[in-house]
Structure 1
Amino acid sequence: MQVSDVRILLAVVAAKSLAAASRQLDLAPMQVTRRVAALEEELGVRLLHRTTRSVSLTAEGEAFLPYATSMLEAEESAKGELGRSPNQVTGHLKVSAPTVFGQAVIVPLLGHLLLAHPELRIELDLSDRQLDIVARGFDLAIRIATLRDSELVARRMAANPRVLCAAPRYLALNGCPRNVLELERHDCIQLSAVSRWPLIINGELTRRRLQGRVTTSSVEAARSAALQGLGIAMLTYWDVRQQLLDGTLVEIRLDDAQMEPLDIWAVMPTRRFVPARVKVFIEALEHALSGPGYSGD
């Protein structure tokens, strides 16, 4: 089995199109089709459903995907270990991260990483949706969540507590809530993915549906609405860290409740054959999260 054929298969899966993969790989579409067909013939199974517009994995393709990913990781690891410089960081690093966190924390790291490692290329996908990092060929994803059971490998990077916050002018006009009952009387900016706010009251987690005139699917839009004085937002610390520091947003603490804690996680497909490019990225991110200022720990 040729690793080059496996690489082509993963490119097709990530692009969801033979034509798109051929453009990314700079190969003729017919060549991509033939190499995937050769891999299927060697394995004795059909790996892809093909239509004129898109492709998708068969059940056999889904089963083969983790092995395909491990093969490429093993090749990368071997090259790193046996190459001229074992510490050299090369290749294409694909990272997925939440939009606001990525802009505030990860983007400022890129210049240093690229300067320190001239042969490194970085592709950063910023999205508030949780993507299938295996199917889309990502090296890792940064997630801010309470992680569910998963076959992925997760490494905790730092705490990232939820924060209630509002603009000073909103609080000057409407007062600052001191407890949950008072909070329920305020305009609360809603994230559509979190219809009920998670509060810890008397040591128990409860979820309250609060009222407000602004609802959005975007963390960035919720922060902007709070900055405009449109209500109280529930966001995570690293989403509003700079605004809390410069005073454009003010943290609200309740006497009878705390927000459910969250953590920042680096999620990877496997712990085996972790490429050097992933290791240096994680080290840089850990350093940034442990820098000056409250980290939430």
Structure 2
Amino acid sequence: MFLPDVRTFLAVASAGSLSAAARQLNVVPMQVSRRIAALEEDLGVRLFHRTTRALTLTAEGEVFVAYARAMVDAEAAARAELSPSSGTASGVLRITAPSGFGQSVVLPMLPELLNANPDLRIDLDLSDRQVDIVGQGLDLALRIAPLEDSELVARKIAPNPRLICASPEYLKRYGRPATAAELDQHRCIKLDSVGRWPLVVDGKLIRRRIEGYITTSSVEAARTAAAQGLGLAMLSYWDVFRQLADDSLVRVQLDDAAMEELSVWAVIPSRRYVPNRVKVFLGALQKHLSDLAEKGDQRCRDQTPASRAPE
């Protein structure tokens, strides 16, 4: 399999037409067509449906996209490993992250990252759904929820415990719950994805049924509603660390229950051929989280352990 043919295939799949891919690759459309034909002959399958008006991937072409990206990434990783390098990252880094974490942590770190790596581009998907990173051809997924068994490679980036929080105005008006049972007397803001609140009682994780005064699918909406005094919310530390620091939200601790300990995880497709852009991003993320923890006041630092470097 000829690697330039594979790169041409990815360009066509991304651009959606032979002519657009040719302009991107700075070649004539006929050369693009010949490379695609050669690749299809080599693989023994059709990769594109071609009509006079459109060009779309076949089912086999959609499957091949992930493999093609892996081959191109492997070549880039080999060149970076074997050639002198300034240590900067290049290419397109494809990431998916939870919306709340992406808004509060990932986006603010991008200006410094991109300034230090001018040849790097970011394709960022902010979504609370579990994305198939292999099928979607992604380099990296940042995840907060407990990880399911998977053949993917997961690296712990930093602790991210759940916590119950509310605005000072809400607590002044309705009081502060002292026990898990007293949660039933309060207005609670629920996330669709967390139907029951996980609490650790006597060392065991239980899931307590909570009546939602407000229910939402959005972490940002739950955080905003809590800051507006509409109720108690259970979110993770990195979702609300800025609000804890400026006192728009206050942590509520229960006497008879602790919160579930979560972490920020980096999930990658494989340990082999990890692109330099992924390594550079994870190093920058770890430093960013560490800097944020250092800038917080002592109360906020006490609410989460210091970040650790990726393993």
Q: Same fold (TM over 0.5)?
A: yes
| Structure 1 residue 231: Cα displacement | 0.7
Q: Cα RMSD between the aligned structures?
A: 3.0
Number of aligned residues: 293
Percent identical pairs in the alignment equals 54
Aligned-partner SS, 1:136: coil
- Of 227-236 and 85-94, deviating more is 85-94
Deviations 1:51-77 (A, max 9, x none): 97964634x964x56643431121111
> CA separation in 2, counterparts of 1:210 and 1:50?
54
**Alignment of 1:158 onto 2:166:** no
Structure 1 counterpart of 2:237: 237
Q: Does the Cα contact within 8 Å between 2:8 and 2:21 map onto a contact in 1?
A: no
> CA separation in 2, counterparts of 1:196 and 1:24?
53
> CA separation in 2, counterparts of 1:87 and 1:38?
35
For residues 31-46 of structure 1, the aligned pairs below 5 Å read 35-36=35-36, 38-45=38-45
| Structure 1 residue 165: Cα displacement | 0.4
For residues 166-181 of structure 1, the aligned pairs below 5 Å read 166-181=166-181
Q: Does the Cα contact within 8 Å between 2:154 and 2:267 map onto a contact in 1?
A: yes
For residues 18-167 of structure 1, the aligned pairs below 5 Å read 18-19=16-17, 26=24, 35-36=35-36, 38-45=38-45, 55=57, 57-58=59-60, 62=63, 67-83=67-83, 85=85, 87-167=87-167
| Structure 1 residue 261: Cα displacement | 1.3
Structure 2 counterpart of 1:275: 275
Amino acid aligned to 2:59:
L
Q: Does the Cα contact within 8 Å between 1:97 and 1:143 map onto a contact in 2?
A: yes
Aligned-partner SS, 2:178: coil
Q: TM-score, normalised by structure 2?
A: 0.82
> CA separation in 2, counterparts of 1:237 and 1:225?
16
| Structure 1 residue 205: Cα displacement | 1.3
Q: TM-score, normalised by structure 1?
A: 0.86
**Alignment of 1:296 onto 2:298:** no
> CA separation in 1, counterparts of 2:274 and 2:147?
21
Consecutive unaligned residues of structure 1, counting only runs of 5 or more, are none
> CA separation in 2, counterparts of 1:131 and 1:24?
31
- Of 286-295 and 137-146, deviating more is 286-295
Q: Does the Cα contact within 8 Å between 2:66 and 2:137 map onto a contact in 1?
A: no
Amino acid aligned to 1:44:
G
Amino acid aligned to 2:156:
R
Aligned-partner SS, 1:145: coil
Q: Does the Cα contact within 8 Å between 1:97 and 1:127 map onto a contact in 2?
A: yes
Aligned-partner SS, 1:205: strand
Deviations 1:210-260 (A, max 9, x none): 012211111001101111111110100000001111111011111111122
Deviations 1:72-119 (A, max 9, x none): 121111232344536342222222212221222122222222222222
TM-aligned CA distance change 1:44 to 1:162, over 3 Å: same
TM-aligned CA distance change 1:196 to 1:20, over 3 Å: farther
Q: Does the Cα contact within 8 Å between 2:199 and 2:259 map onto a contact in 1?
A: yes
| Structure 1 residue 130: Cα displacement | 2.2
Deviations 1:170-211 (A, max 9, x none): 111111111111012211111111111111112111112201
